[in-house]
Each structure stands twice: as C-alpha cells, then as structure tokens.
Structure 1
Amino acid sequence: MTVFNTKKEVETLVTSHKATKKTIGFVPTMGALHKGHLSLIQNAFDENDIVFVSIFVNPTQFDNNADLDKYPRTLDADVKLIESISDDIIVFAPSANEIYEQEITSKEYKFDGLEFEMEGKHRKGHFNGVGTILEILFKLVLPNKAYFGEKDFQQLQIVKKLTQKLKLDLDIVGCDIYREDSGLAMSSRNERLSLLARKEAAFIHKTLLAAKEKFGTKSAKEVTEWVTKQFAKNKKFNLEYVEIANIDTLKTVKRKSKNKKYRIFIAAFIENIRLIDNIALN
C-alpha cells in the first residue's frame, strides 16, 4: 500500500499514469472509514485502472471547531480497510498545511442556488469549504471518475455543479446509501453514538420510509408536517430540519408534479451528534 503525504508525490504519479492512458478513479474522504466508504472504493476499483483515496479532515468545511476537533482520525485503521480491497490503491493523506500552504481558508463559490438550501441554511460556509478542497484535489489527481455517496445528496449535486463550473472532464458517480442492518445510514459519526443511541437512530430511516408511503397520497406539506410531529413525539431526538425537495434544484416542494423527481431530507441530533439521511420519494 502506497501512502503519499505531499502533492508533489501525487503529481509525479498522476503524470506517469496519464502518459500511459490509464484511467483514474478517485474517492475523496475525511477518513474514519466504514463499509459505506469501502463500497465507493470497490466501485472505483472495479471501473478504473488506478484508484486514489484521499484521507483529509478538511477544516474549511466545518462551521463548528468543536466538531472539527472531535472528528475521528484513524489513518492506520483506514489504510488496513483499504488494503482489504487491494494493496494497489493509492492513499493521499496530507496535512492541512500541505493542502492550503499559506492560509487555511476557503474560496467563494456560486452553485446556482444549490448551496442555499437545507445544509446551506444550517452550516454557514460549508459548501465553500467543500468546493475549495475538491477543486484542489480534482486538479491534483485528475481523475476520470470520482465517487460520492447519496447520503450527502445535496453535496453530490453541488459537486456535479462544481465540475460544470470548472469545466472539468470528470464524471461524478453517485452511489447508493450504504446502511447498517437497522437501516441507519452509515456515517463516521455513528461511531460516536452509544449503543443505545445507535439502536434508537434507526428511527430516522423508519420515518423516511413511512413518509415515502404517505407521499403517494398526501401533499408534500402534509408529509413534512407528519414527520415533524413524529420527531416531536420522540424526545431522544432534536429535529433540525425535514425538507421535501426537487432533486435538481433542491428547492422545497410546494406542489407536486408528475414530471419531477423528489427526495425527503432529514437532519437531526441524538446525544448531541448530528445525523443526516434522505431517500427518493418517486
């Protein structure tokens, strides 16, 4: 297993691979890897000649320093998990100074309004941080395909918009949410939950499934209100938001249309740990 810590090492290897016309698959992560990440890496490995995985806890996409400090950093364990797929996969694990060089700050981006919905309303500057790190990594690794999970569906749509804005020759591949047996969407944050809270957190997915069923006969407003009431009854959770949105614009749905596709999105806290999830409604 090759683990690089500098951009120069990556540049040299990418140049040699591009010269031989090898395809590059890329999975950007913040580490604390789980089976959901491994499914992305496996997809990349199956579809490309070379695979890069970045492991970097990006400070510019956190609006809460305490959350940044608590974010798990498990590089050795992460490398072992990646080796379970193949020891030919290349890991890039830089420091913040290596990535940002002089000043750890984010650029300002315009994502045609996608950045102002849902997560953008509650996490100030988050998508500027996401855009900044991905622009750096995309231009460094020069992948043919990059893989992202649909758990962060809004991020997935913003990454697609980013590649359009930057005019990158890059295919963004969205992959299905990988779930625990209980239905809880896999997340590095799950590891911070107590065993009881982890079990209780399955409530999110169960509520989403019930909302999907109701969406067939009820309005978006009625479904949203029903979900809000379910969380109000469950005192273990603090619901931050529930939104039913158009998958292309991410705008909250006011009136359903047969020609549009929708998803329902939830962000909620349990044990002061923030969890997000979403599912397609039609």
Structure 2
Amino acid sequence: MKRILVTGANGQLGSEIKELAGNYPNFEFIFTDIADFPLDKEQEITSNFKAIQPDIVINCAAYTAVDKAETDSVVADAINHLAIATLATLCHDSGAKLVHVSTDYVFDGTSPVAYKEDDQPNPKSVYGVTKLAGEIACLKNCPESIIIRTAWVYSEFGNNFVKTMLRLMSERDSLNVVNDQVGSPTYAADLAQVILTILDSNKWEPGIYHYSNEGEISWFDFAVAIKENAQKSCIVRGIPASNYPTPAERPAYSLLDKSKIKTVYGIEPIDYSVSLKIMMKRLGSE
C-alpha cells in the first residue's frame, strides 16, 4: 500500500482530497497541516518527513495571502520556495514521488492566448516570485516531480471568491467587481480528483502541467454566475482593475492551456459553470 503525505490538508485542495480519500483504499493517506508539518521550519520538515516515510507527497500547502506577501516576503519565500526545495530533496533522496501545486501568478498576464507550460514566466508579485522560485527548486532538486499550475481556486472549504461573493450579495444591494482580469476558475474538488487520478494511473510523466476548469471569463462574469446560481437580487457592476488598486499586481490574463494534461493523462476538465453549480449545491446542503 502506497503511503501518501498530504501537506496543507486543512486548506481548500487538501480538504477536497480528504473527501475523496475513501475512494482509494489502495492508498494510505497521512494528512498534515501547519500545526504538525510547518513548512516554515526546515528542520521540522526533515524530521517529520523521515518519521512518516511517504511513498508520495502531495504538496497543497502554500502562502496564498497574495497582498500580504508584498510586505511579508520572508515568510512567503520560506513556505513557497525554501520549503519546496527541502521537500524535493527529501523526495529525490528517498525515491518518493512529489506532486507540487503552483499557480498562474508565475505569468505576467500579458499573453494574448492561453499560457502553455513552457511559456516564459514573469511574475509581477511577491507571491508569484516565490511560487516560481518553488517550481525551479522543485525541478532542480527532484527532476522527476510533477508540478500542476492552477488558477482561481474555490471550494466549499476555506475562504475564496465564491463564498465572499455570496456573503457580500447577502449584505449589500450592489457590488463592483473587476471585469478586465480574465481566466478560468478551478473547483478544488475537480483538481483533487485530477491529482488522485494521476496517482492511481500507474503512469508517471514528470514535468509541469496546467489545470483549471474550462471557460474564459472575468471576475465580473464569475460574480454574475454566482449571483444567478444563488438567485440573489444584488446588482453586480463591472469595473476596471485600475479602480480597485491592490498591493499586489494581478495578471490581467491568466488562462491556462490544458492540452498537455489532456493528452498525457486523458483528463477532461469540466466547464466552470457545471462545477460552480455542484459546489454551490454542496455548500447549500451543509
């Protein structure tokens, strides 16, 4: 039986992997989070890894407070970069497989077409810089790793855009939402299923992959879809990002080309609108 160490197990993606774990009796899952597997402490990473002796590591943990990272760069780098370098070395030295989750923020958002895995990264935020450094360290220290870049992650677990919109739509008569940043949302449950499908396939093709749900929309479009699904009366207005300045610069265009993961692993991403309905139905039934 393969032993799988999941870091960041209480986050959106880790929580969705927990939900699916029972469907994979051939795997033994060890779920850890910051309390028992802190990624900002190198010695603890090493000692915990050696105690668990995993066959596979799914690294869902990350410093994801994008704006806060602009002034908290040391901690962001420790978690998103240095910890990954350590994990990758430990995996390589022990023969364990590593799946590391990364982000569309490694790109600058100026491409006119969906980003492919080998397109030149050019992050514009501290978060993006530290995540790219983590990717580089991962592939340097453990070339046999799989990295999955994703974008706009949401789930019924944790804090995210969908849950924030639902709360604000219940509190306000109108909302302004950025309409000139384009991408595709990712339901964490779908990404969790993709990762477990890869691990269960007995086919290990190292490298970088892109995954999100299908669709090309703005945050405004996403908010409107949320409003319609929840049947809210709140008025949603589109505004340019320049009217909503944030400490960290967001990519204006971060659509990910998923051709590679479709071809190599036969993954067929679901349209964002379908997954959003599933998530909101699950959220409403809790």
* TM-score bin (small chain): 0.3 to 0.5
TM-score (structure 2 length as normaliser): 0.35
Larger relative contact order (CA 8 Å, sep ≥ 6): 2
TM-score (structure 1 length as normaliser): 0.35
